[in-house]
Amino acid sequence: MVICAVCGNEGEAGSSICRFCGAKRESDGQEKGGVFHKTVNLEHGRPFTETAIKRLLNEIQTARIERVRVLTVIHGYGSSGKGGVIRSECRKNLDYLCSTGGIKEYIPGEDFSGRSGPVKTLLRRFPELANNKNLDRHNPGVTLVIIQ
């Protein structure tokens, strides 16, 4: 099976056209494996902020190598009631990666709603995300990162 780069649906590895959206498939190595979605828990082990950010950057790099298209990053909201340091530093780093082309985009969990325009576009590209447990939960403790 191969995942279409346009709509995100799975198709036969031998086919050159996606049967769902009609897009022409290019041979970019996706046939060799890779997963579409991965979840990363930055909170695991209660790390210091610097350690969590290093892990985030390493996971993004690993996802790129493994051809993961979407990462769900669990960074938590923090116990202060106004957002934690790991959450804010994570999003600052994601802003920087967006501006430098390191990632395509990211969607904060609180904005991950099927009614949102960017999320509708994302769901058209990756229909499997319609089953994501964070969809429409407005969870500020997660962020979805679209790699490329």
> Beta partners for 12?
none
- Whether residue 92 sits in one domain with residue 118: yes
- Whether residue 39 sits in one domain with residue 3: no
- What does pTM read for this prediction? 0.74
**What is the domain count for the chain?**
2
Q: Tens digit of pLDDT for each residue in 34-50?
A: 578 999 999 889 999 99
- Whether residue 69 sits in one domain with residue 26: no
> For 53-62, 77-86, 96-105, which range has the lowest pLDDT when averaged over its residues?
77-86
- Whether residue 77 sits in one domain with residue 19: no
- Whether residue 80 sits in one domain with residue 114: yes
Range of the domain at 15: 1-31
**Contact at 8 Å (CB) between 43 and 76?**
yes
- Whether residue 74 sits in one domain with residue 140: yes
- Whether residue 41 sits in one domain with residue 8: no
Q: Among candidates 116, 47, 36, 119, which has minimal Cα distance to 76?
A: 47
CATH number reported for the structural domain that contains residue 75 in this entry: 3.30.1370.110
Q: Tens digit of pLDDT for each residue in 1-19?
A: 565 555 556 677 666 777 7
- Whether residue 80 sits in one domain with residue 132: yes
146 vs 16 pLDDT, higher one? 146
Q: Which helix (H) or strand (E) holds 72?
A: strand 70-74
